[in-house]
Structure 1
């Protein structure tokens, strides 16, 4: 079953269960997918949908940080609930060891020797890790590896 079909089925299930919060989040996701398809005039595959979900999760993480800094825990909790729904559409996350192994392989493949080669390493890793790891954490690990 394609990811898009699964999201559509989940939306119908949420409607039938009258789960307004889950339904709202799924509708936001479907709207973001549709917008991307219309803008680029393509039919998104699973990888494209994962990229949309990943972007939405990043936006929610940023919002949670800002809401908590402003003392608006109610809004932060709403964003966290949306993050839980969105996370369900991502593939199984990578373990710490898997991330390190992929970084090591990418460094060797790209011939990276210094911080100036970081873009090459990220270019190799991004398609492999999309939706499976926080790229900010991966970036920090690459910097540590190349600096050390």
Structure 2
């Protein structure tokens, strides 16, 4: 078992013993999503820590989107629950980049792309190719794309 997956399992056991319903249900859902990924495809396999982290990122994004949808629908209690679940998952993710850090990385990438001859809207793909490896899972793709658009076309 990978170290991140075993940490999730250990934390789930602790949450169950501590009768922390929110934490235990969130970790159960996350471990179920990891297991689903492991058995997807032709044969069962063990996910690496990076793959486990990708599943957690996906689950956290689902919680954020659900919270927004519940907020728009006027279901504040459900939105609060989704946000709380997202906060539990955030503990297992790398520290997110601040807006200033993200903007600095994107600004450097824009300069690199322009130096390579990229111009206008077509340069967005080139800039994203430069930014994505530098950012990794420390910023959501939509947030990165919005920053690139603003600095490139703004």
Instruction: Give the Å deviation of 1:135.
Output: 2.3
Name the counterpart of 2:125.
119
Q: Which runs of 5+ in 2 are unaligned?
A: none
Where has structure 1 moved over 6 Å in runs of 4 or more?
A: none
Query: Over residues 98-136 of structure 1, what are the superposed CA-to-partner deviations in whole Å (9 max), with x where a residue is unaligned?
Result: 212321333344534322232232233334333312322
- 1:36–1:67: structure 2 CA closer, same or farther, 3 Å change rule? same
- Which of 1 and 2 has greater Rg? 2
Name the counterpart of 1:3.
4
- 1:63–1:103: structure 2 CA closer, same or farther, 3 Å change rule? same
Name the counterpart of 2:140.
134
Q: Using structure 1 for the length normalisation, give the TM-score.
A: 0.85
- 1:11–1:102: structure 2 CA closer, same or farther, 3 Å change rule? same
Q: Which runs of 5+ in 1 are unaligned?
A: none
How many residues align? The count is: 148
Q: Using structure 2 for the length normalisation, give the TM-score.
A: 0.83
